[in-house]
Amino acid sequence: MDWFPLMNSLRIAAISTVIIFFVGIFTAYYVAKANPVVKGILDVILTLPLVLPPTVVGYLLLRVLGPKRIIGAWFFKWFGIRLTMNWWSAVFATTVVIFPLMYRTARGAFESFDETLAYSGQSLGLSNLSVFWKIRMPCCRQGILAGTVLSFARALGEYGATSMISGYIPGKTATISTTVYQLWRTNDDALAFRWVLVNLSISFAVLLAVNLLEKKNQGTKVRKWKKKAGN
């Protein structure tokens, strides 16, 4: 059994998750602080990939990154690099597809943050950057971790946009999802089912991790409520 699709899926998911972790948190933080009108407009735009069919996302990316399009043609002309049909081309697709998951989760965590804690940190002489990393992030870590894990799982199983922008080349661009589809097309149900089991195992582990994070977060909130009630 060739394990390249698993290794390729893991590295694509890992790279795109690292990207959206920082970009998603940065965007969510500033959108959460925006006025209601601007927040509403940005929220619609940034969440759009979540509701669009993945094939539509892939098509739009091809319109931008294709070798005969503005960005794709520029990279090919000056650097000799094709932005499509490479294993790392799938990173573009997965990053766009999973960004709304991280953004929405992080924004919800930031909006539920008690701002009096930030004001207390500032009164003690902490800079805004220190308040963000030492106070805000630790308080919001459960929601952010859950968003990160869910985003990774979604990237691992992405098919539509990935198949359009990176295709299926065994040993080069194949992922778990594209491999399952190609094996099904060639009537190799036995091997396709093995890959389905691999994907199910990973998805089960990810969902279990998310549930544990949520239970831990709920337990923390209950302890804080009991402590306040005791006072």
Task: Tell me which residue of 22, 148, 119 sits closest to 30, measured CA to CA.
Answer: 22
Q: What is the pLDDT of residues 123-161, one digit of tens each?
A: 888 888 888 888 888 888 888 888 898 899 899 889 999
- Band (pLDDT 50/70/90 cuts) for residue 206 is confident
**HSE value, Cβ hemisphere, 13 Å, CA-based, for 112:** 14
pLDDT higher than threshold 60 for residue 37:
yes
Residue 94 structure tokens:
């997965």
As a whole-number percent, the residues of the chain with pLDDT over 70 amount to: 92
From the centroid of its chain, how far is CA 156?
10
Residue 211 structure tokens:
């549930």
pLDDT at res. 222: 47
Q: How far apart are CA 60 and CA 64, in angstroms?
A: 7
Task: Tell me which residue of 157, 168, 183 sits closest to 10, measured CA to CA.
Answer: 157
